[in-house]
Amino acid sequence: MFIDMHCHILPGLDDGAESVNDFREMASLAYDGGTTIMVATPHYMNSAQCTAANSKESILRTYRLMKEETQRNNIPINLYLGSEMLCGTGVNELYSENKLITINNTRYILVEFRFDDDIHHVEFCLNSLISCGLVPIIAHPERYTFFRDYPYGIYKCIEMGCKMQINKGSVFGKYGEYPKKYAKWLLSNNLVHLIASDCHDTVSRTPYMGDIYEWMLTRFSRDRINELLHDNQKKILLDKTF
Ligand SMILES: [Fe+2]
């Protein structure tokens, strides 16, 4: 059973699910693929990918409604809340104003960057989060050119305490040849802490994790598979250090 820690499943908040029906279909497809826990991570602080309604309050409200939806309709997915925050300067202020949305209210926070961000800006932002006592989980590092242009960036971020989350679609070439190669390189060098779907719909960027599980079966030990698809996620939900 898998824990999917990066899901755009809450309807009407970003470029993921658009309706409650989309939410239901995505949850159902996730369950078919072996996922039993999903962490809803709507884009946050990202004006390009959020609707006008995207605020901490609207995210919390939608999460509660969808949590009720799963219980009322016996949808076999246990839903948790987080966000995918576009990381920029000013995170200290957001933290002190209690505006950040961490994963299940733990120290762990899923963050993304602009694709053309500079590695020094990235490190500055991550250090700001770490100075607040948070643990950044970097969403899809394989997709960023700043890591490609600065090969030691990944090692440095991990040394700083960050966790790396790759997208299952990257391994299958969903985002092009470079992210595919880089995701595989990260995996084979033990530089990945978790694999997630980064699902947006049921057709293109889906929550079905059965495909990545199948792919991993012939390449990794059972323990490593469990670690990347379930065990590390469990530690994050429980706010444990790893
Ligand atoms: Fe995402």
* Residue 59 CB neighbours (<10 A): 24
Low pLDDT (below 70) residues in the chain? 46-53
Q: What's the gap in Å between 17 CA and the centre of ligand 1?
A: 12
Q: What's the gap in Å between 6 CA and the centre of ligand 1?
A: 6
Residue 150 CA to residue 152 CA, distance in Å, equals 6
Complete DSSP assignment for 1-31:
-EEEEEE--STTSBSS--SHHHHHHHHHHHH
Residue among 102, 118, 121 nearest 44 (CA): 102
- Tell me what pLDDT residue 51 has: 57
pTM of the model: 0.96
- Tell me what pLDDT residue 42 has: 96
H/E segment holding residue 74: none
- What one-character DSSP code corresponds to residue 207? -
Note the pLDDT tens digit of each residue in 85-109: 999 878 888 899 999 999 999 999 9
Please name each of the domains of the chain with its CATH number.
Answer: 2-237 (3.20.20.140)
* Residue 147 CB neighbours (<10 A): 21
Q: What's the gap in Å between 201 CA and the centre of ligand 1?
A: 12
- Tell me what pLDDT residue 229 has: 98
